[in-house]
Structure 1
Amino acid sequence: MAKTATLYRMVMPGHVCPYGLKALHLLRSRGYTVDDRWLTTRAETDAFKTEHDVMTTPQTFIEGQRVGGHDDLRRFLGLTVADPNATSYRPVAVLFAMTALMALAASYATMGSPFTIMAAEWFISFSMCALALLKLQDVERFSTMFLNYDLLARHWVPYGKVYPYAEGLAGLLMTAHALNWLSVPVALFVGTIGAVSVFKAVYIDKRTLKCACVGGSSNVPLGFLSLTENIMMVAMAIWMMVR
């Protein structure tokens, strides 16, 4: 028996609802024949919402019964719905995976092999640059979240705004192998303070906090990966000193 659904979604000259497109794709990918009904004006959309006593569109109906919006449709089809407030290590894990691949690619392009000491160095310096970039998107939000656990920032508030610039500068100089007299002490300083701050907050004080490592709007929990960022900086600084 053919599966049918009716989908009401906004399709206006200046706006096509992205969730309506996603709902249409979900239904078709699950084998539904879709009666795709467009709401082409604001008045038509408002009238539809009033008639069906709903707050949002799109709205899906299957076998005459209203399923609901995009998230409701995902649940109906047995799919997961992301919780915007849930904590996740995914942002940091994805960043490290991408910078590792970038380092391997750069090593292959310049030295003919992806597996070199330089690739390992670039992985850390690229990661520092990428993490600094995320923080610098909104320095104010980052510095506010940073104050929750960083020991130096709590004593000197402007350090929260200095930190991402210092991390980015050290990462760039280490990538270029330039001005080691500057990059090494900067990385060693911010990395050591950061590592001590995270260790104290998480493993001594047992606090449950969000990490500012990927910017001030993240839901990354403060913990092992947060500590890793700072340990990598310290390790890179020491390596640059002894190599």
Structure 2
Amino acid sequence: MPSEDSTKTAKLYRMMMPDHTCPYGLKSKHLLEKNGYEIEDHHLKTREETDAFMQEHDVSTTPQTFIGGERIGGYEELRIHFGLDKPKDEQSDTSYRPVIAIFSVAFLMALGLSWYAFETILTLQAFQWFIAISMCFLAVQKLQDIESFSTMFLNYDLLAKRWVPYGKVYPYGEAFAGIAMTASALLWLAAPVAIIIGGIGAVSVIKAVYVDKRELKCACVGGNSNVPLGFISLTENIMMLGMGIWMLFRIF
């Protein structure tokens, strides 16, 4: 890590044009201030000025930060410099953050609904709402780019491999089942849908991950996710399968 002078000053060069303020420049400035640096804030106010700066320092992007006379780099390099991120060659290409965010918010929403309806959060209905809302959130992630999702889904889903359109039908089925279960309506249809897609999904994940030992990305939060296929994916499908069976049991 480059040495820092005792006065803790940094030079920051960032784009600050009439029609464009670089967001990474603002983030770099905030990060430097947060770490106690006095900043010489140099604004690149025109495209020509920006191009001349990049040519002079042999860089292809801005912002650029200099500490102690040494160039640190852009915002990502600045985060590495302060120990907030690992060096790029040590960073993992997988992340559980999307599913953690979805399940956490769905769980809190379910508790909120339970409190509103029953004035307590410890209810069976809260657990049912949690699963149903999670299904809705996961479906939305897939529906944002259904083409990308269906392509990634084909890597492991057994039914999609036999009937390709299933990859585009799946998110709609998941959304329908989640919405119906949230409202406790049309359960005679929603429950079988959840059982079918949850059951096929669970078997597909077990085969791909635990039998074939394949290392794949999960399409559960969309086709552009970095979530690894494995326990989280299996949990999602088992939740749908279990919820479908429970709802079917409630009907009869």
User: What is the TM-score of this pair, normalised by structure 1?
Assistant: 0.96
Conserved 8 A contact 2:109-2:130: yes
Question: Contact conserved, 2:80 with 2:87, CA < 8 A, in 1?
Answer: no
From 117, 123, 128, the equivalent of 1:110 is 117
Q: Is 1:9 aligned with 2:14?
A: yes
Report the counterpart of residue 52 of structure 1 in structure 2: 57
Q: How far apart, in 2, do the equivalents of 1:77 and 1:92 lie? A: 27
Residue 73 of structure 1 pairs with residue 78 of structure 2: yes
Identity among equivalent positions (%) equals 63
SS at 1:6's partner residue? strand
| Aligned residues: CA RMSD | 1.4
1:8 counterpart SS class:
strand
Matched, 1:187 2:194: yes
Moved more, 54-63 or 168-177: 54-63
SS class of match (2:224): coil
* Partner residue, 2:156: 149
Secondary structure of the structure 2 residue equivalent to 1:109? helix
Q: 1:79 deviation in Å?
A: 2.3
TM-score (norm 2): 0.93
Question: 1:75: Cα distance to partner?
Answer: 2.2
Partner of 1:238: 245
Bigger mean CA deviation after superposition, 20-29 or 145-154: 20-29
Provide the aligned length of Structure 1 versus Structure 2.
Answer: 243
CA contact (8 A) 2:192 2:248 kept: no
**What is the deviation of 1:64?**
2.0
Shift in Å, 1:110: 1.3
Greater shift, 139-148 or 59-68, is seen at 59-68
Question: Aligned match of 1:216 in 223, 231, 235?
Answer: 223
Distance in 1 between residues matched to 2:77 and 2:193, nearest whole Å: 50
Q: Which residue of 1 aligns with 2:101?
A: 94
Distance 2:193 2:160 in 1: 16
**1:36 CA drift (Å):** 0.3
Deviation of 1:197 (Å)? 0.5
C-alpha displacement at 1:90, in angstroms? Answer: 1.9
Question: How much has 1:172 moved relative to structure 2?
Answer: 0.7
